[in-house]
Amino acid sequence: MKGALRLSGRTLAALVLASLISKPLLACSICGCDPSEGTLGLERPTSGDLRLAVEDRYFRKESGSVDDGSREGEREDRIGLRFQYSPPVPRLSFQFDVPIYPWKAHYGVNGLQDDTNQGLSDLALSARYEVLHFGGAVPRHVVSLTGTLKTPTGSNSHLAAVDNGVPDEHKQIGTGTWDEMLGVWYSYGDFPTVVYAGASARINGTNGRGNHFGNALFGTLGVRRSFLESKRLYFALDAQGRNAGKDTVPTVPRSFDPNSGGFIAYATGTAGYAITVDLLVRATVQIPVVTVLNGVQSEYPVGYLALAWDFTL
C-alpha cells in the first residue's frame, strides 16, 4: 500500500484497536470491546486517497456461574467494512465503520446454544487530527487527537424464544446507544521501525431499557518493523490494556452486573504484507495475558484477518 511503503515519520500511531472503533462498542461483560481497534489504523492513506478495508473477526467469551444461573457465553463472526479518507487538508483523516454480523450465537446456563442473531450493527464515524509534527522535513514525531461517535443503528430489540418477553442485551447486535470515544496518540518513525503509543476513553450512553454498558479506558504501546528489500512485509507487537466499569442493568432499584467490567491486558501480534503498492493483507491475534475481572468472566484469543485497498480520488 502507499501508506505501508512510506512508513517513515508520517506513519501514524494507533491500533485501537482500534479498531474501536470498528466495532459495535459493546459491553465488557460478554460483548466484545477489544482495544485492538482503536483509531485510524497503523498506516493511513496519503492525502487525497481513499482506503477500503474488509476485516473479519472471530470472538468468543463467557461469563457468570452455573451455580447462580448467571452463566452465558457468546461466539460470533463479525465483518467490518472500513472506509478511510485523507482529504487534501493537511493532517486530517476520517474513518467510517460498518460492522455486520453474519452470525452471533448465544449460549445459556447449560452451555447449549439458545439463540442466533445476525445483521447490521452500530455504525461509527471517526476523525483524527495531527496536532504536532517535528523531527525533520519528514517528521519522526507525530502527536494526534482522535474522536469517534458510535450510532445506535444496529437492532436492539431482538427477542429470543427463551427470553420470556424480556430482550437480553447480550443477544443484540446493537447497543441502542450513542457512544463517544476520545483519544491521544504518539508515534516515532525511524524507518523501517515505528514505535507508537496511545490512550483513549469511551463513554457509553444508556439505551431505552435503562441498560448502560460500563465506560472504559484503553491503552496501547507497540512497535512495528518492516522487512525484505522491498519493505513490503511487516510485523508488529503490541501491549494493550482495558479497564472498564461494571454494566448497569435496569432493575428496580438499579443495580450493577457483578460479572462485568474490570481490567484486562492483551499481547497482540500482527503480520502484514503489501501484495501491491495499493493492496495489503493483514492478520492479527490478540491474546489475553493478565485478567483482573469482576465476578466470573473467561477471556479467549481473538483473531482478525483483513484486506485493504487504496484508491486515488
pLDDT in tens, 141-178: 889 999 999 999 999 999 987 888 888 899 999 999 99
Burial class (CB in 10 A: 0-12, 13-18, 19+), 312: exposed
* Single pTM value for the model: 0.85
What pLDDT is stored for residue 45 in this prediction? 77
What pLDDT is stored for residue 133 in this prediction? 84
Q: Is the dihedral of CA 83, 239, 188, 194 positive or negative?
A: negative
Q: Where are the domains of the chain?
A: 2-312
Q: In whole numbers, what is the pLDDT of the chain averaged over residues?
A: 84
What pLDDT is stored for residue 43 in this prediction? 62
Strand 36-37 versus strand 16-18 pairing type: parallel
**CATH architecture entry for 2-312:** Beta Barrel (2.40)
**pLDDT(140) > 50:** yes
Identify the residue whose cell numbers are 462498542: 25
What pLDDT is stored for residue 30 in this prediction? 41
What pLDDT is stored for residue 75 in this prediction? 95
Phi-psi region of 310 (alpha: psi -120 to 50; beta: other; left: phi over 0): beta
pLDDT in tens, 225-280: 999 998 899 999 999 999 999 999 887 677 999 999 999 999 999 999 999 888 89
* Whole-number percent of the chain with pLDDT over 70: 85
Identity of the residue numbered 306? A
**pLDDT(211) > 90:** yes
Give the residue with greater pLDDT, 137 vs 312: 312
